[in-house]
Structure 1
Amino acid sequence: MGRLFGTDGVRGRANSDLTPELALAVARAAASVLADRDGTSRPVAVVGRDPRASGEMLEAAVVAGLTSAGAEVLRAGVVPTPALAHLTGSTGADLGVMISASHNPMPDNGIKLFSRGGHKLPDAAEAAIEQAIAAGGSSDHRPTGAGIGRVRDLPQAADEYVAHLLGTVDQPLTGLTLVVDGAHGAAAGLAPDVYRRAGATVHAVGCDPDGWNINDGIGSTHLGPLTEAVREHGADLGIAHDGDADRCLAVTADGELVDGDAILAICALAMHERGALKEDTVVATVMSNLGFHHTMRDAGIAVQTTAVGDRYVLEALRARGLSLGGEQSGHLVFLDHATTGDGMLTGLALLSRMAGTGASLAELASVVQRLPQVLVNVPVRDRLAVSESDAVAEAVNAVEAELGDAGRVLLRPSGTEQLVRVMVEAPTQEQADEVARRLAEVVASVE
């Protein structure tokens, strides 16, 4: 069996790669690994999904797998991923299972697992689950009769999560007009109401899911409809979520993109000013633009850098007890309020900063002067040989000396393909393109 877990759970084409049989096996194995109670009470699992059609099929399989392992299932229905994480913690459940492929197109689906407290799984737990599946999914534990788990719905799941979100708002959003794009996803039924109840005037797009249209030309990966709606309504900004609402991107009144780096900087500066940014440190990944690093440095805020993936941001936050981290893609984690990336929590924080300062989103985002960034995927024979190549090391050292503090180079071998990703940031687009071309040629020449 190949590795099942990617950077964010198990994901693939629903009913082809991610079959009901696999979903059942993952659920049974997760129950056996994560539900480590003392045997005097049943393990409890919370299950949620986004609205894509295949979620109904996979939810049934997951519930069957959990109950066949003796777990009690609390079915939350269609909820955002951060809501599922929150509910896992608030109910005291042993594990949470979210069925979603996030920003992926409708034919895909995925299974994201959370441990007790609503935290994403460490690598060791994922490995243990994979081992259990390979061994037959704990087929030695097959309760019968009263030992089989039961299922009950959580009709107040969404309301509890909304109350949690609104409890984080310390600045009424009165006077702000926004357009929210729900990606026809898990937040489609919640996001407009959340922002309205926080005080804003809200127009909505992408908030009519039918099971087939999730992320279809809409949401955080397709900002065109949001930009058009912002201009049509004369709104102050637009906020875009993805299919499971764990990320947030924004557009200004003029339709300019405000990415995760800029949103992270805006929120970090706000928390820094009120003394809420623990250790005056923010966590970002290696892909964050150098302009973001310069902004943080100038404000006296340290940046801890991690590998790409919000799980690594979370690990760094938890290890040091920090309060804020995020990615360019719009995954922001406010660890004082959430255990995972939360798009609506991020949106509320961004809007609160606008309301509190009276500044436009464009003005707030201008604190980050983004450097031109080029990313080239270079096919190679052996990505590990590239990492060990003296010629590549010499070329990188030469470029780093050339750019100094005004630019940056990053080479990242793909985790699944024979590719090396060459990322270059430089003061001008022309220089970034030229340096990336030079490095790509050296990388491609490695035998």
Structure 2
Amino acid sequence: MKYFGTDGFRGEANQSLTAIHAMKIGRYLGAHFLKLQKEMRVSLGAGHNMPEWAEEKRPCIVIGKDTRRSSYMLENALAAGITSSGCDVNLMHVTTTPSVSYAVRADNFCCGIMISASHNPFYDNGIKIINSAGGKMEEELLEEIERYIDAETDDLPLAERGEIGMVEDYSRGRNRYIGYLIQTVRRSFKRMRVGLDCANGASFTVAKNVFDALGAETHVIHDHPNGLNINLDCGSTHMQSLVDLVKAQKLDCGFAFDGDADRCIAVDNHGKVVDGDAILYICGKEMKANDALPGNTVVTTIMSNFGLYKAFERAGIDYVKTPVGDKNVAAEMFEHGYALGGEQSGHIIFSKYATTGDGVLTAIRLAEIMVENKTDLASLHQDLIHYPQVLRNLMVEDKEGALANEKVQRAIAEANRVLGEEGRSVVRASGTEPLIRVMVEHLDNDLCVDMADHIVQAFRDEGFTA
């Protein structure tokens, strides 16, 4: 698709993602759900197997946003587009992506929108559209929106007079979500000392409230957003300040979130970073022990560390690999009824509680496992050995052409032959940026470097990158 990638419509604010784009997205969504409601009433009749959102006078869309300066601009543009088409809007204001997903399901909105570029810098932004089940919107509708954005004429009707939609405050939805997270925990966190890095993003409205309510002693950093400092040397992609906090304050653990808090990366009591793979390992073992791991299977992506698969095999846990993207993980989980899945980057999905990755939920699940087992976080992942991993990001204009190149393919095949059964390479196109990502793993770090360089050189020799 032209605009919507693996994680929504993302780009630099007022450059590749403008208020005009946002208004058009709102216009199409409003018109789409209003038309769908009318069609349902004709074909089904009120009260006969209609979704609850369609029973309302007008369909309503819930919107949340992170702390970027441009999020306010896009929020207003989306709301204007939706209401001009005749649908209502409820605003959750600054909140997390998983809270919007929860609100859609809990309060029967026709869809939800989250304004965020996740872990990207403040000048980027994004529009994520959430379907009525709380998952990412179906591609068919996204393709329709793209065609409307690029259309030379606008043939969608404008609502008139009393049919124009309304915008209402819905900050109570965030509070309801906080309450939901708290009630999922069976144990008190009293006497637990926890560090929280809110990335100057959306989690500053949620995370501390949850851990305080559960009895933990919380030490919070990067919880003063100013619109420009989201993810700036902080959060789940910049772990050093949380590591320093845990060590300096001798905390039991720490949890870092990204801009919209659908990711979590932890720090154990020794100051060691616990990534998404380690979190999957800890939670997978615990769920297996409690007979709460359907199919004895954890869903991963192709970017999970080779060491995770070796550890799962030792623990007697099966695994599935999907393409990169929590959307792909979720699809595999819900198709086969799996309970746990995620990515190395910290998107962790617990299908019993949520339909998307949820950073704060992940943090409280880890904390609860510590309490249940009366042990520290370091002990829970000590038998997981991460294989050395070398990553290279190459800026290219033609991602598909670069990957299909014969010399590039030969270089990748040669690297995999050299790496053998104790290693691998994964070369893929980024779903959100003009990048080719090269990942090489092996117990021999020097061999990883050599094979990564070998693959990168093939791209350069063929003129795809400088």
2:48 matched residue in structure 1: none
SS in structure 1 at match of 2:63: strand
1:151 matched residue in structure 2: 167
Q: Could you tell me how far 1:88 is from its partner in structure 2?
A: 0.9
Paired amino acid for 1:359: T
**Structure 2, gaps ≥5 residues long:** 42-56
SS in structure 2 at match of 1:287: coil
Q: When the two structures are aligned, how many residues end up with a matched partner?
A: 446
SS in structure 1 at match of 2:171: coil
Contact in 2 for aligned 1:29/1:137 (Cα 8 Å): no
Q: How do residues 91-130 of structure 1 correspond to structure 2 at under 5 angstroms?
A: 91-130=107-146
Paired amino acid for 2:456: A
Contact in 2 for aligned 1:86/1:338 (Cα 8 Å): yes
Structure 2: distance between partners of 1:416 and 1:70? 32
Paired amino acid for 2:249: H
1:366 matched residue in structure 2: 382
SS in structure 2 at match of 1:351: helix
SS in structure 1 at match of 2:349: strand
Structure 1: distance between partners of 2:456 and 2:71? 41
Q: Could you tell me how far 1:203 is from its partner in structure 2?
A: 0.9
2:19 matched residue in structure 1: 20
Structure 1 residues 333-360: Cα deviation after superposition (integer angstroms, max 9, x where no partner): 1111111110000000111111111222
Deviates more, 1:127-136 or 1:115-124: 127-136
Structure 1: distance between partners of 2:435 and 2:113? 32
Contact in 2 for aligned 1:380/1:446 (Cα 8 Å): no
Q: How do residues 199-214 of structure 1 correspond to structure 2 at under 5 angstroms?
A: 199-214=215-230
Paired amino acid for 1:303: Y
Structure 2: distance between partners of 1:389 and 1:238? 44
Question: Could you state the TM-score of these two structures normalised by the residue count of structure 2?
Answer: 0.89
Picking from 278, 302, 305, the partner of 1:289 is 305
2:9 matched residue in structure 1: 10
Structure 1 residues 54-88: Cα deviation after superposition (integer angstroms, max 9, x where no partner): 22222111111111111111111111110011001
Q: Could you tell me how far 1:42 is from its partner in structure 2?
A: 1.8
Contact in 2 for aligned 1:374/1:425 (Cα 8 Å): yes
Q: How do residues 60-79 of structure 1 correspond to structure 2 at under 5 angstroms?
A: 60-79=76-95
Picking from 267, 292, 295, the partner of 1:276 is 292
Contact in 2 for aligned 1:249/1:258 (Cα 8 Å): yes
Q: Could you tell me how far 1:444 is from its partner in structure 2?
A: 4.2
Q: Could you tell me how far 1:260 is from its partner in structure 2?
A: 0.8
Question: Could you state the TM-score of these two structures normalised by the residue count of structure 1?
Answer: 0.93
Structure 1 residues 77-118: Cα deviation after superposition (integer angstroms, max 9, x where no partner): 111110011001111111101111222222222111111121
1:37 matched residue in structure 2: 37
Structure 2: distance between partners of 1:243 and 1:440? 31
Structure 2: distance between partners of 1:418 and 1:58? 23
Q: How do residues 256-405 of structure 1 correspond to structure 2 at under 5 angstroms?
A: 256-377=272-393, 384=400, 387-388=403-404, 393=409, 395-405=411-421
Structure 1 residues 178-227: Cα deviation after superposition (integer angstroms, max 9, x where no partner): 11011111111221120121232111111122333222222112222212
**Structure 1, gaps ≥5 residues long:** none
Structure 2: distance between partners of 1:18 and 1:393? 34
Structure 1 residues 238, 410: closer, same or farther in 2, change over 3 A? same
SS in structure 2 at match of 1:37: helix
Q: Could you tell me how far 1:147 is from its partner in structure 2?
A: 1.2
Contact in 1 for aligned 2:6/2:431 (Cα 8 Å): no
1:87 matched residue in structure 2: 103
Q: Could you tell me how far 1:441 is from its partner in structure 2?
A: 3.5
> What percentage of aligned pairs have identical amino acids?
38
1:194 matched residue in structure 2: 210
Deviates more, 1:244-253 or 1:30-39: 30-39
